[in-house]
C-alpha cells in the first residue's frame, strides 16, 4: 500500500469557525432573538436557547477540546448587541468577557480570528432599519473601534463582516433571514452600506492596529447550469454567480458596485482587504423554474452521483473547492478558508468530505497558491439559524438538553491532520478507507 503525506507549509493555521449567536446562548437583544419569537421563522419553532453555553463559560472546555485536538487557531465572533446594548451604552463587562475568551485562545497557543459581524444586529439598530439605514456604517464603525481597542492585545486577524452576500440574499432577496423582506431596491441599499461599513472598519482597525490583517468572508457557492444547452439555465446561473459570488468582492477591488441591475460608486471600498476569506461548502446546478418566484426562479440540485447530506441541502463536491480557491487567487492576496463543512449527525459522510476538501486545498497549496489557513465549520454542533437544531455541523455533537459534548470520529480525523500539518496515507486508511485509492493510487 502506498505511503505518503500531503504536507502543508509551516505555520499553516488549522482551526474551526464559530459565530456568537450560534454558540453563546442567551442572546436576547438582537434581530435573531426577535426573529426566533415570530411564528414559523425557525424550523420546528426551535430556539437558540443556551446554544453551546459559551456565554455561561463552556467556551473554556471547548477551547481545551480544540487545543488538545491540535488546532492552532479558532474563529469566533463578537456580539454587537452585548457590547453596545443601547445606542448610548457600552458594556465593559461584555468587552471583558471577550477579552478573556481571546486571551484564553492565546494561552492555549491558538491564533484568534475575530469576526465583528456575523449575521446579527442589535435590536435597537434593527428597529431603526438595520443596514438599510445610511447611518449604520458609521454606527458599525464606532462599535468596531471600541471592540478592536479592547481586544487588540490578543487579536490581529479580523473579519469585518461575515458573508455580506448571504446576509443580503437571505434577508432581503429570499426572505429566510430577518427582516424577511424581499425587495431588490432595499437589498441594493443594504449591500452598499455593508461595503461602506466594511471599508470604514478596515481603516479604523488599521489606525488602531497598523499590523492587523483585515478581510471579509464571502460564501462562494459555485453554481453551474443544469442544462448547459438551455439558455434560461445559463443566464440564470450567470445572474446568480455575479450577484451572489462576485459583486461584493468586485467592489472591494474596483470601488464600483453592480448588484441586482443597479450601480453605485463606493470608492472607499477599493483595496480594503488584506486577505481573502473564503467560505466554501459545495457546488450546485441551477434549473430555471418560472414558477419559483420566491427562489428567484431557480431550483437547485446536485450533479448526478454527488453524495448529499442527510437533509439533502449540502453536497460533497470537493472539486468546487479547488475552483473556489482558483477564484480567490485572482485577487493576489493571501487566502484563508474561513469556513468549510457539512451537516452530518451520523458522521458517515464528513470524514470523506473533510479529507477530500483539504486534499483539494493541498493541490492548490502545492502549486503555490497563497493559502494560509483552514477553519472547519464547526467545532461543536450549534444553532443553525433558520434550520434551528435540525442540522449538525460539529466535529463534536451536542446534546442540547444536557450540554453534553459527543465526540465524532471526524474530530479525531481532523486532529490527526492538524497535528501532522498534512494528510497522511495512514490517516486516510484509518478514517476514510473508501477513498484511499482515489488519493493514493497504487
Residues that bind ligand BGC (CB under 6 A): 19, 22, 162-163, 166, 219, 279, 339, 377, 384, 393
Q: State the nearest-atom distance from the C-beta of 364 to ligand BGC, in Å.
A: 21
Q: How far is the CB of 90 from ligand BGC (least distance, A)?
A: 26
The residue among 163 and 345 lying less far from ligand BGC, judged by its C-beta, is 163
Q: In 3D, which of 119, 109, 120, 225 has the Cα closest to residue 166? A: 119
Q: For ligand BGC, which is the closer residue by CB, 62 or 233?
A: 62
Comparing CB distances to ligand BGC, the nearer of 170 and 427 is 170
Of 118 and 196, nearer to ligand BGC (C-beta) is 118
Q: Whole-angstrom Cα distance, residue 85 to residue 122?
A: 7
Contact (CB, 8 A) for 184 and 260:
yes
d(Cα 138, Cα 409) in Å, to the nearest integer?
45
d(CA 326, CA 437): 25
- 154 versus 177: smaller Cβ distance to ligand BGC: 177
- Of 44 and 332, the one with the shorter C-beta distance to ligand BGC is 44
3-state SS, residue 251:
helix
Residue among 112 and 255 whose Cβ is closer to ligand BGC: 112
CA dist 433 and 436 (Å) reads 5
Least separation in angstroms between residue 264's CB and ligand BGC is 25
Q: Which among 39, 22, 49, 109 is positioned nearest to 74, based on CA atoms?
A: 109
Min dist CB 269 to ligand BGC, Å, is 21
Residue 18 C-alpha from the chain's centroid:
8
Q: In the bound complex, what is the minimum distance in angstroms from residue 265's beta carbon to ligand BGC?
A: 28
Spatial CA neighbour of 372 closest among 63, 70, 8? 8
* Short-list 239, 276, 237, CA closest to 259: 239
Strand partners, 111: 73
Considering the complex, what minimum distance in angstroms separates the CB of residue 223 from ligand BGC?
Answer: 15
Helix residue ranges, H only, 267-349? 318-329
Q: Are 67 and 104 in contact (CB under 8 A)?
A: no
For ligand BGC, which is the closer residue by CB, 187 or 342? 342
Q: Which three cell numbers stand for residue 218?
A: 464571502
Distance of closest approach, residue 32 Cβ to ligand BGC, in angstroms:
11
CB 172 within 8 A of CB 182: yes
In the complex, minimum distance from the CB of residue 204 to ligand BGC, in angstroms, rounded to a whole number: 23
Amino acid at each position: 500500500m502506498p505511503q505518503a503525506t500531503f504536507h502543508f507549509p509551516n505555520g499553516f493555521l488549522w482551526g474551526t469557525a464559530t459565530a456568537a449567536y450560534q454558540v453563546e446562548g442567551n442572546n436576547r437583544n438582537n434581530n435573531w432573538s426577535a426573529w426566533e419569537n415570530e411564528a414559523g421563522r425557525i424550523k420546528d419553532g426551535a430556539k437558540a436557547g443556551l446554544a453551546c453555553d459559551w456565554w455561561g463559560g463552556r467556551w473554556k472546555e471547548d477551547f481545551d477540546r480544540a487545543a488538545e485536538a491540535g488546532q492552532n487557531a479558532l474563529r469566533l465572533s463578537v456580539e454587537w448587541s452585548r457590547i453596545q446594548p443601547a445606542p448610548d451604552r457600552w458594556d465593559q463587562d461584555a468587552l471583558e468577557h471577550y477579552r478573556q475568551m481571546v486571551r484564553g485562545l492565546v494561552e492555549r497557543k491558538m491564533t484568534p480570528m475575530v469576526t465583528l459581524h456575523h449575521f446579527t444586529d442589535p435590536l435597537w439598530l434593527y428597529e431603526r432599519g438595520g443596514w438599510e439605514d445610511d447611518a449604520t456604517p458609521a454606527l458599525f464603525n464606532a462599535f468596531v473601534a471600541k471592540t478592536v481597542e479592547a481586544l487588540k492585545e490578543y487579536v490581529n486577524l479580523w473579519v469585518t463582516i461575515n458573508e455580506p452576500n448571504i446576509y443580503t440574499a437571505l434577508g432581503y432577496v429570499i426572505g429566510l433571514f430577518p427582516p424577511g423582506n424581499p425587495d431588490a431596491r432595499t437589498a441594493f441599499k443594504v449591500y452598499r452600506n455593508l461595503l461602506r461599513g466594511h471599508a470604514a472598519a478596515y481603516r479604523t482597525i488599521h489606525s488602531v492596529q497598523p499590523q492587523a490583517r483585515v478581510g471579509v468572508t464571502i460564501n462562494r457557492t459555485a453554481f453551474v447550469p443544469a442544462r448547459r444547452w438551455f439558455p434560461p439555465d445559463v443566464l440564470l446561473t450567470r445572474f446568480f454567480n455575479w450577484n451572489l459570488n462576485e459583486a461584493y468582492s468586485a467592489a472591494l477591488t474596483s470601488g464600483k458596485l453592480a448588484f441586482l441591475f443597479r450601480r453605485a460608486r463606493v470608492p472607499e471600498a477599493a483595496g480594503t482587504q488584506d486577505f481573502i476569506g473564503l467560505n466554501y461548502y459545495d457546488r450546485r446546478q441551477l434549473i430555471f423554474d418560472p414558477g419559483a418566484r420566491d427562489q428567484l426562479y431557480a431550483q437547485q440540485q446536485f450533479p448526478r452521483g454527488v453524495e448529499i447530506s442527510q437533509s439533502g441541502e449540502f453536497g460533497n463536491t470537493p472539486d468546487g473547492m479547488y475552483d473556489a480557491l482558483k477564484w480567490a487567487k485572482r485577487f493576489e492576496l493571501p487566502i484563508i478558508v474561513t469556513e468549510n463543512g457539512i451537516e452530518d449527525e451520523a458522521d458517515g459522510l464528513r470524514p470523506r468530505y473533510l479529507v477530500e476538501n483539504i486534499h483539494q486545498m493541498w493541490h492548490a497549496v502545492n502549486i503555490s497558491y497563497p493559502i494560509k489557513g483552514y477553519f472547519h465549520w464547526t467545532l461543536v454542533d450549534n444553532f443553525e439559524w433558520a434550520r434551528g437544531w435540525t442540522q449538525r455541523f460539529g466535529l463534536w455533537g451536542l446534546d442540547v438538553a444536557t450540554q453534553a459534548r459527543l465526540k465524532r470520529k471526524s474530530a479525531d480525523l481532523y486532529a490527526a491532520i492538524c497535528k501532522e500539518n498534512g494528510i497522511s496515507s495512514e490517516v486516510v486508511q484509518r478514517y476514510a478507507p473508501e477513498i484511499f485509492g482515489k488519493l493514493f493510487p497504487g
